[in-house]
Amino acid sequence: MTHVRAAAALALLALASGCAHAPAPATPAGGPVAPAPRGDAPAAPEPPSRAERLALLRSQVDALLTSQARALWAAWTKGGTPELDASAGSCSALFAPDALGFLAEARAAAEGDERRALTLLRAYVLGEQLARALPANLPAPAPVVTWDGRAYPSSRVRSLLAAEPDPARRAALEHAWAAAERREAPRAEARWKALADAAKSLGYGSLLALAADLRGAPAEALAALAEDVLTTTDGTYRTLLATLGRVEMGKSLAELRGRDLPRLFRAGEDGRTFPAARLGPDAAAPFASAGLAAEGPPALIVDAEARAGKDPRALVLPVEVPADVRVSYAPAAGASELRALLHELGAATFYARVRSPVLEFRRLGSVTAEAWGYLFEALHGDPAWLAERTGVAAGHLAPVVRAAAARRLHLARVLAARLLGELARQRDPAGAREAGRAVLERAMARPVEADELDLFLAERDPLLESADALRAVLLAAQAERHLAARAGAAWWRSAEAGRVLAAAFADGSRLEPSELSRALGAEALDGAALAAVSAERAAAVR
Q: How far is CA 164 from CA 55, 168, 177, in A?
A: 55, 10, 14
Average pLDDT across the chain, whole number: 90
Q: Is the pLDDT of residue 3 over 60?
A: no
pLDDT in tens, 322-369: 999 999 999 999 999 999 999 999 999 999 999 999 999 999 999 999
Q: How far is CA 101 from CA 49, 106, 232, in A?
A: 15, 9, 39
Domain 216-542 belongs in CATH node 1.10.1370.30: yes
User: What is the pLDDT at residue 100?
Assistant: 97
Instruction: Tell me how far apart the terminal alpha carbons of the chain are, to the nearest angstrom.
Output: 54
Q: Say whether 250 sits in a helix, a strand or coil.
A: coil
Helix%, strand%, coil% for the chain, nearest 5: 65, 5, 30
Q: Is the pLDDT of residue 482 over 60?
A: yes
* Four-point Cα dihedral 344, 345, 346, 351, nearest 10: 90
Q: Residue 506 is which amino acid?
A: A
Q: How many CB atoms lie within 10 A of CB 161?
A: 21
User: What is the pLDDT at residue 40?
Assistant: 58
- Are 511 and 504 spatial neighbours (Cβ–Cβ below 8 Å)? no
User: What is the pLDDT at residue 530?
Assistant: 99
Least confident of 7-11, 283-287, 530-534: 7-11
Distance CA 134, CA 123 (A): 17
User: What is the pLDDT at residue 304?
Assistant: 97
Instruction: Give the mean model confidence (pLDDT) for residues 58-80.
Output: 95
Length of the chain as a residue count:
542
pLDDT band at residue 141 using 50, 70 and 90 as cut-offs:
confident
Distance CA 418, CA 195 (A): 18
Query: Which residues is 328 bridged to in the sheet?
Result: 303, 315
- Are 209 and 141 spatial neighbours (Cβ–Cβ below 8 Å)? no
Distance CA 329, CA 532 (A): 32
User: What is the pLDDT at residue 268?
Assistant: 84
Q: State the SS3 of 370-428.
A: HHHHHHHHHHHHCHHHHHHHHCCCHHHHHHHHHHHHHHHHHHHHHHHHHHHHHHHHHHC
Q: State the SS3 of 27-48.
A: CCCCCCCCCCCHHHCCCCCCCC
**Considering the chain, what percentage of its residues have pLDDT values greater than 90?**
82
Mention every residue, 6+ apart, whose C-beta is less than 8 A from residue 163: 263
pTM above 0.95, yes or no: no
Core vs surface per residue 39-54: b (16+ CB within 10 A) or e: eeeeeeeeebeeebbb
Residue 7 exposure: Cα atoms within 13 Å on the Cβ side: 3
What is the pairing mode between strands 300-303 and 315-320?
A: unpaired
pLDDT band at residue 293 using 50, 70 and 90 as cut-offs:
confident
Of 62, 42, 34, nearest to 125 by C-alpha is: 62
- Are 497 and 486 spatial neighbours (Cβ–Cβ below 8 Å)? yes
For CATH 1.10.1370.30, list the domain ranges present in the chain.
216-542
pLDDT in tens, 381-425: 999 999 999 998 877 899 999 999 999 999 999 999 999 999 999
User: What is the pLDDT at residue 41?
Assistant: 60
- Are 118 and 110 spatial neighbours (Cβ–Cβ below 8 Å)? yes
Distance CA 487, CA 468 (A): 28
Q: Is the pLDDT of residue 15 over 70?
A: no
Q: How many CB atoms lie within 10 A of CB 289?
A: 18
